[in-house]
């Protein structure tokens, strides 16, 4: 069993964009998108994934992710996933010993930039980078699975 605990924040400025930072293109869609669980298909660069996630409770949830052939992922995105798909560039930034994942959205969520930090415990202490804005961990409107239903362009 895999449990994911992450906190999510709006990004308030571009100070995270360090020289030479490179992102990876992600395209993802949802086969199932319900309160109790989601089934997501993703292409990250040239790798396909299928992921099953449970209900989020206090920033944690069950998560099972598996690599699949990219051709299968492409077909699932085209034929099985609800539209529109989520499109974004994902960057990784290290700050004070923690890995931050920054997603810069395009498509219907163009302009939205979110940062996530995975923790072993929701209450674990960490220092906030100067580019972190409002926390949206507990706002389901910022779950990727909900951004296809109710986009939040900026």
The residues facing 144 across adjacent strands are: none
Other CB atoms closer than 10 Å to residue 128's CB: what's the count? 13
Rounded to 10 degrees, the C-alpha dihedral 111/142/137/4 comes to: -110
The span from the CA of 145 to the CA of 139, in Å, is 12
The span from the CA of 98 to the CA of 114, in Å, is 16
The residues facing 50 across adjacent strands are: 41, 66
For the four alpha carbons of 43, 94, 125 and 131, in that order, the dihedral sign comes to negative
- DSSP H or E run through 10: strand 3-11
Catalytic residue among 30, 91, 128, 142: 30
Residue 91 appears among annotated catalytic residues: no
List the catalytic residues: 30
């Amino acid at each position: 069993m895999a449990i994911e605990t992450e906190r999510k924040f709006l990004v308030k400025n571009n100070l995270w964009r360090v020289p030479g930072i490179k992102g990876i293109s992600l395209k993802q869609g949802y086969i199932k998108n319900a309160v109790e669980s989601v089934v997501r298909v993703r292409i990250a660069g040239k790798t396909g994934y299928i992921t099953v996630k449970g209900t989020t409770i206090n920033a944690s949830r069950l998560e099972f992710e598996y690599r699949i052939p990219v051709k299968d992922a492409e077909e699932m995105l085209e034929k099985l996933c609800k539209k529109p798909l989520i499109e974004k560039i994902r960057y990784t930034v290290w700050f004070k010993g923690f890995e931050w994942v920054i997603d810069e959205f395009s498509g219907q969520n163009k302009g939205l930039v979110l940062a996530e930090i995975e923790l072993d415990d929701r209450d674990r202490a960490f220092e906030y980078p100067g580019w972190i804005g409002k926390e949206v961990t507990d706002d389901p409107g910022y779950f990727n699975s909900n951004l296809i239903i109710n986009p939040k362009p900026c």
